[in-house]
């Protein structure tokens, strides 16, 4: 029997939350590009492994669409949901889209760690999902990121790194060989595999 503590790519869905200029620009300048690059890279990995994605932006009319790097990695036909609540589980159309994937392991990336990512994680836990938040693919200004991750972990969600998620999804060298050409050799700054 497989270890239930490992992520299973056949059960995973990548939720990309509010990676919009209005939120990215709140981060320290040095943190912005590396965070967006890690999120975009994990999206590329998800696409290569046929892991569905759920993309959303908070108040798209007011805050604008997700950043170009995120839009470029979305699979064809993947909509960007206009999120009108902080926790995605509180918006019926987004929760329905998540359920429609048939996946029960949402993996959350995006902004802001202590608000929309945390409320999404807590709401999805309450809905019975096995939630993972990717610590180095979420962001919030100052100490808010660490506080958000602590709250998420205390609630019972898994908190993993981009590297951990990648290797959980891979599981073996055969899969690595199959997807490596699809994701390319370039890694985001600061990511070592």
**CATH code for the domain of 95:** 3.40.50.850
How many domains are there within the chain?
1
In this structure, is residue 118 part of a structural domain?
A: yes
Looking at the chain, list the stretches that DSSP marks H as alpha helix, in order from N- to C-terminal side.
21-24, 29-48, 60-63, 68-73, 92-100, 118-126, 144-155, 162-170, 173-183
In this structure, is residue 134 part of a structural domain?
A: yes
Could you read off the pLDDT tens digit of each residue along the chain, which spans 193 residues? 345 789 999 999 999 999 999 999 999 999 999 999 999 999 999 999 999 999 999 999 999 999 999 999 999 999 999 999 999 999 999 999 999 999 999 999 999 999 999 999 999 999 999 999 999 999 999 999 999 999 999 999 999 999 999 999 999 999 999 999 999 888 998 899 9
State residue 185's pLDDT score: 81
In this structure, is residue 190 part of a structural domain?
A: no
In this structure, is residue 125 part of a structural domain?
A: yes
Residue 163's domain comprises 12-181
pTM for this predicted structure = 0.96
In this structure, is residue 105 part of a structural domain?
A: yes
State residue 1's pLDDT score: 35
């Amino acid at each position: 029997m497989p270890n239930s503590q490992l992520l299973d790519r056949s059960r995973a869905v990548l939720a990309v939350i509010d990676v919009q200029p209005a939120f990215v620009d709140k981060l320290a300048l040095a943190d912005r590009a590396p965070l967006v690059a890690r999120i975009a890279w994990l999206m590329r990995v998800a696409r290569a492994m046929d892991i569905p994605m759920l993309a959303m932006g908070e108040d798209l009319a007011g805050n604008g669409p997700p950043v170009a790097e995120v839009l470029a990695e979305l699979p064809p036909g993947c909509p960007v949901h206009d999120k009108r609540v902080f926790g995605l589980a509180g918006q019926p159309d987004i929760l329905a889209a998540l359920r429609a994937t048939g996946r029960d392991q949402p993996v959350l990336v995006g902004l802001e760690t202590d608000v929309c990512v945390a409320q999404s994680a807590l709401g999805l836990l309450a809905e019975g999902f096995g939630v993972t938040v990717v610590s180095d693919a979420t962001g919030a200004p100052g100490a808010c990121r660490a506080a958000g991750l602590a709250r998420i972990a205390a609630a019972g969600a898994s908190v993993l790194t981009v590297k951990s998620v990648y290797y959980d999804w891979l599981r073996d060298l055969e899969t690595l060989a199959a997807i490596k050409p699809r994701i390319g050799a370039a890694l985001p700054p600061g990511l070592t595999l």
